[in-house]
Amino acid sequence: MPLGRPVVGVMGSGSARHTHLAEPLGRALARIGVHLLTGGGAGVMESVSRAFSAVPEREGLVIGILPAGDARPDRADADPGTPPGYPNRWVELAIRTHLDARGDDGSGIRSRNHINILSSDVVIALPGSSGTASEVDLTIRYRRPLILLGDTARADRLPGSVPTAESVDEAVEFVRRALRGSGGESLPQGSER
């Protein structure tokens, strides 16, 4: 696998699967030769990861940024572990952290949401709740390319520059354009374009 493969972060509900969006999105992303990054849990994270991993001959990995469990991370001898349900069974590269699933409001310093966004070259936000909203806010703060997929009414509270997509094809085309225009990041050789 070549080094420097782009990472596409997919953020969304930790409980609702939104399979009508997440599954075709996972398959489409696998076909363009990127890594998939999620929070490694249930809901959208599980649906998109399952679909991505099911694509034959894909080149990218399913990456999960995992929260800490209930252990006290302030103790040097503590093993933070992971909460039940993490990682979902389709995560191939689990990155265990000492950080909370949301931490404060999801954008607090102890939230793993910062790692989710900073590790992504492009972010696609599916419907979700306050955790997803904080990831959208962090994506804007860190100036990562972002598109909202489904439930585009969420964009009303965001800057007008945040694009929306009604279909998976629109979202994937946004990813392709963002990666081609990111100055150095591009789709790997041989990727479907």
pLDDT digits (tens, 9 = 90+) for 131-155: 899 999 999 999 999 999 998 888 8
CA distance 140 to 27: 26
CA distance 32 to 34: 6
Give percent of the chain above pLDDT 90: 65
H/E segment holding residue 37:
strand 35-38
pLDDT of res. 70: 65
Report pTM: 0.87
Q: Which of 7-16, 64-73, 159-168 has the highest mean pLDDT?
A: 7-16
Alpha carbon 24 to its chain centroid, in Å, reads: 15
Q: What is the mean pLDDT of the chain?
A: 86
